[in-house]
Amino acid sequence: MIFPKTETPDIVKFLVLSQLIFLLYLLFVYLTKRINFSFLKNRKLFFYFIIIGILIRTVVSFATGEVSYLSDDVYRYVWEGKLVANDYNPFILSPDAMYGTPLADTTIYPKINHPWHVTIYPPVSQYLFMASYLISGDSISGFKLLSFLFELLSLLLMYIFVKRYKLPDWTFFLYLFSPLIIIEFLFSNHLDIFGLPFLLGALILLKDSKRKLFPLSVLLALGVLVKFYLLFFIPFMFFSFNRKEKLKFILIFGLTIVIFYLPFIMSSGFNVFGSLGVYLDLWQYNGSLYLLLGKFFSIDTARYICFGLFVSAYIPLLTMKRFKNNFMLQSLLIFIVYIIVTPVIFNWYLLWVIPFMVYYRNSAIISLTGTCMLSYHGLIGIFDTGLWSQMPILIFISYFPFFALLIYEAYKQIKTKKVNLI
């Protein structure tokens, strides 16, 4: 077995198997695209595909037990939920600060990563962590259950999204059988899956002819309060509003943020961003342009250059006629810029671009959702010697299809003066 319950996992086999699964996924999507799969014409077959998709999710979610091999983040999630449930503030109390207290259990607490840091996760995430702890105590099964339920909700909303935006029916399968979704959120248990329903719900509301600004603003705020990545897209939506809508959005969005932060502010003042600053200043993982710049400049200089490039990208996206008031295109492109320049790109971050990937059937992003699994090569050293592996060739292989397809698609767009679909 690749992930046995009592032995060291075989990461090499996982890397090979993940790429084989991804190739099967691409083949399946290609075949459904080629036959122009229709929900109505192939109703029975579509029902079977849904059942298979749900069965895969059920098995992956609940048959993997209490061990999380590819990431130990879930143990911190449950621990922070335990803190909140016991009226402690994870924005000011690190796991190390609670050493020797009754809350320092023997199952979750010893597995927490970076225990000297306080949390970086916003309030809605904290309340969901608390809910998972209240469900199962010092166990990750409650978190798995919540992730599974949120994933089913995302599945339903993705179907509505495909229909509302009148996308080809086969595009739904880009999500239904996505290895990224199954591995990173149902096997590795990352929290971003809690934010996807809010993003999808907001995109669905955005398509209504009569814009419902109140629920739209609340959903966007809740998504931000799961993880801050949704902030990337909000400027594009904001500048598409008229003056009255902008004011209303600011009030509703801001008030929702304040309401959810208020319980933590009462015990920590405005120290409610925890270790986020440390993360932004020091973390680096699986970057592309950042690693290249690091060969010529200091780490700090490379980080500043990348940050400047990312912020600067908003200017043409907000002002150029080609992009202006095209929220879907602007959002896709800003996240592509982020992928290129960021010092830190964990696989699960790609979840936030998936709705826009589905909308445009962007082959560069699709390729990266599979090849990104090669980044787990670092765990080979962790399990074998306790040291992080460094295999630049696998980083190159994982990014090569993404950049090659990106350049090809950009060339086609320049040549045809329109956004190309695969």
* Distance of alpha carbon 112 from alpha carbon 45, whole angstroms: 44
Residue-level pLDDT, tens digit, the chain, 422 residues: 576 666 677 888 999 999 999 999 999 999 999 999 999 999 999 999 999 999 999 999 998 888 888 899 999 999 999 999 999 999 999 999 999 999 999 999 999 999 999 999 999 999 999 999 999 999 999 999 999 999 999 999 999 999 999 999 999 999 999 999 999 999 999 999 999 999 999 999 998 867 789 999 999 999 999 999 999 999 999 998 888 999 999 999 999 999 999 999 988 777 878 778 777 787 888 889 998 898 899 988 999 999 999 999 999 999 998 888 899 999 999 999 999 999 999 999 999 999 999 999 999 999 999 999 999 988 887 777 767 777 888 889 999 999 999 999 888 877 776 554 44
* Distance of alpha carbon 161 from alpha carbon 266, whole angstroms: 39
* Residue at 160: amino acid letter: I
Q: Tokens 């679909």 belong to which residue?
A: 421
CB 351 within 8 A of CB 358: no
Instruction: Please report the pLDDT score of residue 421 as a whole number.
Output: 47
- CA distances, 188 to each of 33, 136, 137, 279, 358 (Å): 29, 18, 19, 21, 23
* Distance of alpha carbon 251 from alpha carbon 159, whole angstroms: 31
pTM for this prediction: 0.94
For residue 336, the tally of other CB atoms under 10 A from its CB is 22
* Residue at 59: amino acid letter: V
Q: Is 198 left (phi over 0), alpha (psi -120 to 50) or beta?
A: alpha
Exposed/middle/buried for residue 110 (C-beta within 10 Å: 0-12, 13-18, 19+): exposed
